[in-house]
Amino acid sequence: MKSYLRGFAYFGKAGTAVECVVHDISDSGARLKFLAAPPVVDTIELHIPIKGRAHRAKVLWRAADEIGVEFVEASTTPVRYLDGDGLTRRRSRNLLGN
């Protein structure tokens, strides 16, 4: 499905947030576009504020300022998110929305 959603990708244990545009999202994954080349990691946490959803995802491919990810199923983890005043917060959340 063609889509253009604002997202935040969290990289590594430090949880560095990088804003991205989520393209081609499906139940199993998405393509993420960044303003610059993203850090090289194997997994990320992806938060899509407008959908109120977060996903733990495995990086499948990289190309310049884009990555392709596959969502990891049945995962519950603390999710970092940006609230209305731009501060990073943490909360526990079931990533499948259950």
DSSP conformational letter for 73? S
Whether 92 shows a pLDDT value over 70: the answer reads no
CB-based contacts of 45: which residues, under 8 Å, 6+ apart?
9, 10, 15, 54, 55, 56, 57, 77, 79, 80
Give the C-alpha separation, 78 to 5, whole Å.
22
Tell me which of 93 and 22 has the higher pLDDT: 22
In this prediction, residue 3 carries a pLDDT of 66
**pLDDT over 70 percentage in the chain:** 69
Domain map of the chain by residue range? 4-94
Selected from 3.40.50.1110, 3.40.50.620, 2.40.160.20, 2.40.10.220, the CATH number assigned to the domain covering 4-94 reads 2.40.10.220
Mean pLDDT of 68-88: 58
- The pLDDT confidence band at residue 1, using thresholds 50, 70 and 90, is low
For residue 53, pLDDT over 90 is answered with: no
- pTM attached to this predicted model: 0.72
Alpha carbons 85 and 95: distance in angstroms, whole number = 23
Quote the distance between the C-alpha of residue 46 and its chain's center: 1
pLDDT digits 0-9 by tens, 9-49? 998 776 778 999 999 999 899 999 999 999 899 999 999 99
3-class SS of residue 67: strand
d(Cα 52, Cα 12) in Å, to the nearest integer?
22
